[in-house]
């Protein structure tokens, strides 16, 4: 195997492949990145057995030669070390050549590395995912959905199913739900495509890593489900993840049918006020922040016994309903507000210990639900 490629182009693709590689993998070969060059394309693969990414670079396009291929072949090179080498090489181009016993020579200008690789035949084959259960979404929309939901998944393995995002379809509506049992993010999207009935739980980690490697544009990305795997595919990218097994809890009953108090407020004003209060809430070690709605005034406050206290009023557009006072987690509130694109949000309270809803002023397609913190 021997080929020459633009160093920055190779580095860009390697940094995406390395994102799914775990240093603690039980299969040593999966700590590496697989390179396979043919006369038509370079294929780069990274995997941790649960998530896999395959990136391809064509050797030429209509205008120019992108990769100069001397000899086709394949090799697996140590992932992090290989990426660091490519990052530090001095030249614009890099030549990679495999020798006997899976050694590789990496050259760029006057720099040369002799790296020990692994037999590519030892690298596991990526799962095959059929396209029978498939949908398409604009990439920019999928990226936005991920950013609006994945932060709410559980970080605890106590209930593994809650570490994922529930993906389900109903008619021509897609529904995404994430919860850690203290907060919940819900997003729905209506599309023109006729959808099969689907219900799968995608690992939150996979969603986050996918978001890092997809660009912000409106090209379609195909999402396919089969054999307990999900495949995201567009252009020269394939991203595959194992699905989570188990029954996702029914969260529909968590949304109150009616509210006791509703406020309409500028999102950025409330976010900045909460951020300031969180400075003390974090010092107290529990993120507890208080919101009070009384006499057409909204007040945000927090205190730390060792540091002090803060309170401030927030200008609102309107207040409807009864007075209310409750405690909430400031981090949850900030995450929820950052997920909203509108300038204004509506917050609906149903009682001091019932979940309250944050949503854009203009739509019900996005709902963030937060469970209040009990005060003692």
DSSP string, 171-201: TTEEEEEEE-SSEEEEEEEE-SS-----EEE
pLDDT value of residue 1: 96
pLDDT value of residue 374: 87
pLDDT value of residue 284: 61
Q: What is the pLDDT along the chain (376 residues), one digit of tens a residue?
A: 999 999 999 999 999 999 999 877 789 999 999 999 999 999 999 999 999 999 999 999 988 999 999 999 999 999 999 999 999 999 999 999 999 899 999 999 999 999 999 999 999 999 999 988 899 999 999 999 999 999 999 999 999 999 999 999 988 999 999 999 999 999 999 988 888 889 999 999 999 999 999 988 889 999 999 999 999 999 999 999 999 999 999 999 999 889 999 999 999 999 999 999 999 887 767 789 999 999 889 999 999 888 899 999 999 999 999 999 999 999 999 999 999 999 999 999 999 999 999 999 999 999 999 999 987 5
pTM > 0.75: yes or no: yes
Beta bridge partners of 358: 347, 368
Dihedral of alpha carbons 262, 265, 268, 271, sign: negative
pLDDT value of residue 271: 98
Domains of the chain: 2-122 (3.10.150.10), 133-252 (3.10.150.10), 255-370 (3.70.10.10)
CA separation for the pair 232, 239 (Å, rounded): 5
pLDDT value of residue 306: 83
pLDDT value of residue 349: 97
SS3 content of the chain, % helix, strand, coil (to 5): 25, 45, 30
**Eight-class DSSP state of 91:** S
Question: Is residue 311 helix, strand or coil?
Answer: strand
Asked whether the beta carbons of 207 and 150 are under 8 A apart, the reply is yes
H-type helices in 150-229, by residue range?
A: 204-213
Where does residue 340 rank: exposed (0-12), middle (13-18), buried (19+ CB within 10 A)?
buried
């Amino acid at each position: 195997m021997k080929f020459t490629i633009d160093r920055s182009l190779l580095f860009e693709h390697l940094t995406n492949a390395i994102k799914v590689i775990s240093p603690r993998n039980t299969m040593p070969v999966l700590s590496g990145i697989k390179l396979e060059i043919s006369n038509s394309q370079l294929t780069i693969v990274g995997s941790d057995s649960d998530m896999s990414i395959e990136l391809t670079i064509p050797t030429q396009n209509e205008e120019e030669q992108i990769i100069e291929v001397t000899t086709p072949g394949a090799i697996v090179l140590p992932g992090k070390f290989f990426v660091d080498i490519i990052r530090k090489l001095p030249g614009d181009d890099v030549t990679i050549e495999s020798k006997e016993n899976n050694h590789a020579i990496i050259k760029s200008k006057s720099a040369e590395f002799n790296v020990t690789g692994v037999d590519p035949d030892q690298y596991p084959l990526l799962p095959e995912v059929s396209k029978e259960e498939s949908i398409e979404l604009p990439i920019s929309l999928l990226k936005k959905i991920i950013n609006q939901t994945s932060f709410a998944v559980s970080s605890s393995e106590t209930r593994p199913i809650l570490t994922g995002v529930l993906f389900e379809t109903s008619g021509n509506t897609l529904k995404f739900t994430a919860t850690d049992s203290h907060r919940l993010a819900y997003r729905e999207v209506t599309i023109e495509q006729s959808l099969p009935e689907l219900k799968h739980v995608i690992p939150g980690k996979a969603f986050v890593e996918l978001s890092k490697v997809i660009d912000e544009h409106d090209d379609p990305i195909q999402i396919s489900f089969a054999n307990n795997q999900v495949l995201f595919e567009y252009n020269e990218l394939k991203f595959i993840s194992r699905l989570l097994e188990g029954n996702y809890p029914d969260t529909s009953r968590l949304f109150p049918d009616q509210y006791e108090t509703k406020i309409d407020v500028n999102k950025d004003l409330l976010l900045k006020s909460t951020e300031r209060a969180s400075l003390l809430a974090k010092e107290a070690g529990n993120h507890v922040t208080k919101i009070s709605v009384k006499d057409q005034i909204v007040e945000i406050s927090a205190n730390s016994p060792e540091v002090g206290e803060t309170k401030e009023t927030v200008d609102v557009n309107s207040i409807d309903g009864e007075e209310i006072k409750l405690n909430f987690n400031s981090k949850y509130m900030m995450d929820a507000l950052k997920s909203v694109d509108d300038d204004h949000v509506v917050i609906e309270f149903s009682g001091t210990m019932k979940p309250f809803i944050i949503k854009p002023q203009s739509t019900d397609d996005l709902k963030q639900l937060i469970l209040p913190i009990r005060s003692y």
